[in-house]
Amino acid sequence: MNTITIFDTTLRDGEQAPGYAMNHDEKVRMALQLEALGVDVMEAGFAIASPGDFASVKAIADAVKSASVCSLSRALEKDIDASAAAIKGAARPRIHTFLATSDLHLKYKLKISRADCIKRIRRAVSYARNLCGDVEFSAEDASRTDRDFLCKVFETAIAAGATTINVPDTVGYSTPDEFGALIAFLMNRVKGIEKVVVSTHCHDDLGLAVANSLAGVRAGARQVECTICGIGERAGNAAMEEIVMGLRTRHDAYGHISTNVRTEEIARTAHLLSTITGVRIAPGKAIVGANAFAHESGIHQHGVLSKAETYEIMTPESVGMKQTELVLGKHSGQHALENRLRDLGYDLDSDRAAEVFAAFKSLADRKKQITDRDLVALAESRVASKSDAEHEWKLDSFVVNSGNHMSATAQITLVKGKRRVQEAAIGTGPIYAAFRAVEKIIRHRFVLEDYRIEAVTERRDALGEVLVKISDAKGSYRGRGVSTDVIEGSILALLVAVNRMLETKK
């Protein structure tokens, strides 16, 4: 087998990381992009965790047509039942069950013996296999588990019907030499291992998740569990894009091992994740960071201009990092704009395209040079908010007064359907005053959890992108707004979050 199965757990392990939580629609949107990326298996969530998680896993299972959809479950019948019910509609369903196996976890977390551990594994895997033909078993904390006992664990899982056995370095403790040796040991010692796929799941606590995963592949593993941009618990998981491009770029080191990933979709997938979660990609992030293909040193620039391979081991285009600048302005038509949006991955319906075109025209009157990044920001601000004129609050107008020797005041007018409501408020600054005025109009209290603003592009006329996070008693809600006016952008972002909050309440 020279094709590695890419098991993406962005929607499960990745989403568990603080700041990366996604709502139902965002998870489905991310899942469809993962399918476009070409991942073989996507772990859609932990079905038993909550009704919301169950609904999201089910929606993803129903929406995805080509990739295998998987739900995680503890080695408990109720968990496995929930997973089976959630993925029932998937074209290729998989149940993923796990149990800790290290003496440390058995003694202090589970408080069971090794014999009890074996019994639980046998019962859980066989129960899952009766419900689903594709069952994966993970030995949590495998890298710190006694090797002889680990062999017994996997032999039990294989005999009970597991089709994939996963070897997690759960706390990122292992080194590449150690982890590669562990996989090689299991490949040689576990009875029946030739019948199953051997998988890795490495965490990045020591910054070695990708290196450990690749060492596992070299030793014989044929599935790698990973996430987009390496997001996940604590320091995160192995980064999918680094593993895929590592295998593609270094055939001399890993042999002619390939994946089914469409690498030109990598950058788009990473940027969608950043857009949905509001967490920026670090400029120096390998493969997808803004500086990944940037060259400032004169020597480097000279080398790249002479022959790109002097300082670039892969092309920006190979991962979808196109550097095209939009050559459109205020005289451009909607058809040209829609064509460019399609090139950027946005196939909008007529109503949404009209909204983006109107915003584009407004921006073109205020900004001389419009780039692809501006367009992405405009499109995302519309995709993220599912406009419903009859049931959502929209900004009509605002007036803000502020200065260093006066209290800031804001007068906001919002419309919803045929209603038009105006309120004024005072605050310690113009944003605070504007948000208080909105709160008075909607008559629903909320807490501002996070507020961030960043320039989408360079220069003084840059489009400002605002991200807000608010919460009430029922949950947290994110919003995004873009404008050359940071106060307008802030109000627009707040309204996206407010409308989501009110929809949840309804």
CATH number of the CATH domain containing 269: 3.20.20.70
- Residue 409 tokens, joined: 């005041």
pLDDT for 77 equals: 98
Q: Is the pLDDT of residue 387 over 70?
A: no
The rounded distance, in Å, linking the Cα atoms of 237 and 9 is 9
Sheet containing 406-416: give its strands across.
394-403, 406-416, 419-427
Residue 255, domain member (yes or no)? yes
- pLDDT category of residue 298 using cuts at 50, 70 and 90: low
Most confident of 79-83, 254-258, 277-281: 79-83
pLDDT for 18 equals: 84
The rounded distance, in Å, linking the Cα atoms of 62 and 484 is 40
Q: Are residues 211 and 109 in the same domain?
A: yes
Q: Are residues 238 and 347 in the same domain?
A: no
pLDDT tens-digit profile of 311-344?
788 988 999 886 544 557 777 788 888 888 887 7
Q: Are residues 340 and 380 in the same domain?
A: yes
Q: Is the pLDDT of residue 368 over 90?
A: no
Roughly how many angstroms between the first and final C-alpha of the chain, as a whole number? 52
Residue 443, domain member (yes or no)? yes
The rounded distance, in Å, linking the Cα atoms of 382 and 480 is 9
pLDDT for 226 equals: 98
**Is residue 226 exposed (0-12), middle (13-18) or buried (19+ Cβ within 10 Å)?**
buried
pLDDT for 19 equals: 82
The rounded distance, in Å, linking the Cα atoms of 151 and 247 is 28
Alpha helices in 192-333 (DSSP H): 209-219, 240-249, 251-254, 266-277, 298-306
Q: Are residues 168 and 98 in the same domain?
A: yes
**The domain boundary residue, chosen from 384, 403, 426:** 384
If you average pLDDT over residues 451-469, what whole number do you get?
Answer: 86
> In which domain, by residue range, is 240 found?
5-277
Find all residues with CB under 8 Å of 496, minimum gap 6, and list them: 381, 384, 385, 478, 479, 480, 481
DSSP, res 109: I
Q: Which residues pair with 5 in a beta bridge?
A: 223
- pLDDT category of residue 266 using cuts at 50, 70 and 90: very high
**Residue 172: which region, alpha, beta or left (left: phi > 0; alpha: psi -120 to 50)?**
left
**The domain boundary residue, chosen from 322, 355, 384:** 384
7-16, 295-304, 395-404, range with the lowest pLDDT: 295-304
Q: Are residues 64 and 206 in the same domain?
A: yes
**The domain boundary residue, chosen from 253, 277, 301:** 277
pLDDT tens-digit profile of 414-436?
999 999 999 999 999 999 999 99
More confident residue, 291 or 82: 82
Residue 238, domain member (yes or no)? yes
**Residue 443: which region, alpha, beta or left (left: phi > 0; alpha: psi -120 to 50)?**
left
Q: Tell me, what amino acid is at 109? A: K
- pLDDT category of residue 1 using cuts at 50, 70 and 90: low
Q: Tell me, what amino acid is at 92? A: R
Q: Which residues pair with 226 in a beta bridge?
A: 8
Q: Is the pLDDT of residue 296 over 80?
A: no
Contact between residue 87 and residue 93 where contact means Cβ atoms under 8 Å apart = yes
Q: Are residues 222 and 348 in the same domain?
A: no
Contact between residue 427 and residue 404 where contact means Cβ atoms under 8 Å apart = no
Element (H, E) at 59: helix 51-63
Residues composing the chain: 506
User: What are the φ/ψ torsions at residue 424 (nearest 5 degrees)?
Assistant: -125, 155
- Residue 371, classed as helix, strand or coil, is coil
Q: Is the pLDDT of residue 28 over 90?
A: yes
Q: Are residues 166 and 270 in the same domain?
A: yes
Alpha helices in 132-225 (DSSP H): 147-160, 176-189, 209-219
Q: How many domains does the chain have?
A: 3
pLDDT for 302 equals: 58
Find all residues with CB under 8 Å of 388, minimum gap 6, and list them: none
pLDDT for 496 equals: 93
Q: Is the pLDDT of residue 292 over 90?
A: no
Residue 304, domain member (yes or no)? no
Query: How far, rounded to the nearest angstrom, does the alpha carbon of residue 59 sit from its chain's CA centroid?
Result: 17
Residue 292, domain member (yes or no)? no
User: What are the φ/ψ torsions at residue 237 (nearest 5 degrees)?
Assistant: -110, 180
Q: Is the pLDDT of residue 390 over 80?
A: no
Q: Are residues 254 and 116 in the same domain?
A: yes
If you average pLDDT over residues 267-285, what whole number do you get?
Answer: 91
Q: Are residues 173 and 266 in the same domain?
A: yes
Residue 115, domain member (yes or no)? yes
Q: Are residues 52 and 82 in the same domain?
A: yes
User: For the domain that residue 430 is a member of, what is the CATH number?
Assistant: 3.30.160.270
If you average pLDDT over residues 73-79, what whole number do you get?
Answer: 98
**DSSP assignment of 377-428, as one string?**
HHHHHHHHS---TTTS-EEEEEEEEEETTEEEEEEEEEEETTEEEEEEEEES
Q: Is the pLDDT of residue 127 over 60?
A: yes
Based on DSSP, count helices (H) and strands (E) in the chain, helices before strands.
17, 14
Q: Are residues 118 and 204 in the same domain?
A: yes
Q: What is the mean pLDDT of the chain?
A: 92
86-100, 129-143, 450-464, 481-495, range with the lowest pLDDT: 450-464
**DSSP assignment of 442-491, as one string?**
HT---EEEEEEEEESSSSTTPPEEEEEEEEETTEEEEEEEEESSHHHHHH
Q: Is the pLDDT of residue 310 over 90?
A: no
Q: Is the pLDDT of residue 16 over 60?
A: yes
Q: Is the pLDDT of residue 506 over 80?
A: no
- pLDDT category of residue 300 using cuts at 50, 70 and 90: low
pLDDT for 105 equals: 98
Q: Give which of 70, 177, 201, 193 is closest to 132, Cα–Cα.
A: 70
Residue 319, domain member (yes or no)? no
The rounded distance, in Å, linking the Cα atoms of 182 and 200 is 11
Element (H, E) at 336: helix 334-343
- pLDDT category of residue 297 using cuts at 50, 70 and 90: low
pLDDT for 304 equals: 55
pLDDT for 275 equals: 87
Residue 83, domain member (yes or no)? yes
Most confident of 229-238, 379-388, 466-475: 229-238
Q: Are residues 362 and 409 in the same domain?
A: no
- Whole-prediction pTM: 0.85
